Amino acid sequence: MENEKAVVVFSGGQDSTTCLYWAIKHFKEVEAVTFNYNQRHRLEIEVAESIARELMIKHTILDMSLLNQLAPNALTRDNIQIEQKDGELPTTFVDGRNLLFLSFAAILAKQSGARHIITGVCETDFSGYPDCRDVFIKSLNVTLNLAMDYQFVIHTPLMWLNKAETWKLADQLGVLDYIRNKTLTCYNGIIADGCGTCPACLLRKKGLDEYLSMKEGIKA
Ligand code: ZN
């Protein structure tokens, strides 16, 4: 893969930033694509922009505001609470989001001569989002290849990792502190360690604590 070009679906969060570094390690040329779907926090786009600038990566921001128009959700509307009722998907789930994002990323990739698409979706610590599952990604990969008569390869380096293992991967890539301090995962739009109380912060912190204590245990 070293001689090839890749496009990373990039939000400026922990997972996709880890994927960006993973891609830089494995591919000759890497670019990033970020989707603007009127996230509650404009900061998300700014964080993505500043990381891409720092890494000197070509960065495309695509307007996907139609997603908010079609499927109002807690990530875009202040008046929708972030919550999960028993047996239901959380209100942060957006129907079709990864289907659309990956399809647009594929069009962009083909335009720029890239076959490889990297996304930070994960089955392990996730909230049951159907379009984060491995089977969906494999199915979409086939569909995209047929749709554009092109041999895309969708890579999901985090698919089987839990949050602690994602921190471990960041550490192995030598960027644990960078990811910890510069990325934005928090639903309340607070960079780095975040608000500490929203579901995204809790998941991120639990993983980090687990990884750091595991690492200390190995050292001791
Ligand atoms: Zn938070």
Q: Residue 199 Cα, ligand 1 centroid: separation in angstroms?
A: 7
Q: What is the pLDDT of residue 152?
A: 98
Q: Is the pLDDT at 90 greater than 90, yes or no?
A: no
Task: Provide the mean pLDDT of the chain.
Answer: 90
Q: Residue 201 Cα, ligand 1 centroid: separation in angstroms?
A: 4
Q: Residue 142 Cα, ligand 1 centroid: separation in angstroms?
A: 36
CA-based diameter of the chain, in Å? 54
Residue 101: strand, helix, or coil: helix
Compute CA 220 distance to the chain's CA centroid, rounded to the nearest angstrom. 33
Q: Residue 194 Cα, ligand 1 centroid: separation in angstroms?
A: 5
Residue reference for tokens 């990969």: 141
Q: Which of 89, 172, 173 is nearest to 132 (CA)?
A: 89
Q: Which of 17-26, 69-78, 94-103, 185-194 has the highest mean pLDDT?
A: 17-26
Q: What is the pLDDT of residue 92?
A: 65
Query: What's the pTM value of the predicted model, to 2 decimals?
Result: 0.90
Task: List, in order, residues 6 or more apart from 153 with CB less than 8 Å away.
Answer: 115, 116, 117, 141
Residue reference for tokens 């960079």: 191
How far, in Å, CA of 58 to CA of 98, rounded?
Answer: 21
Q: Residue 13 Cα, ligand 1 centroid: separation in angstroms?
A: 12
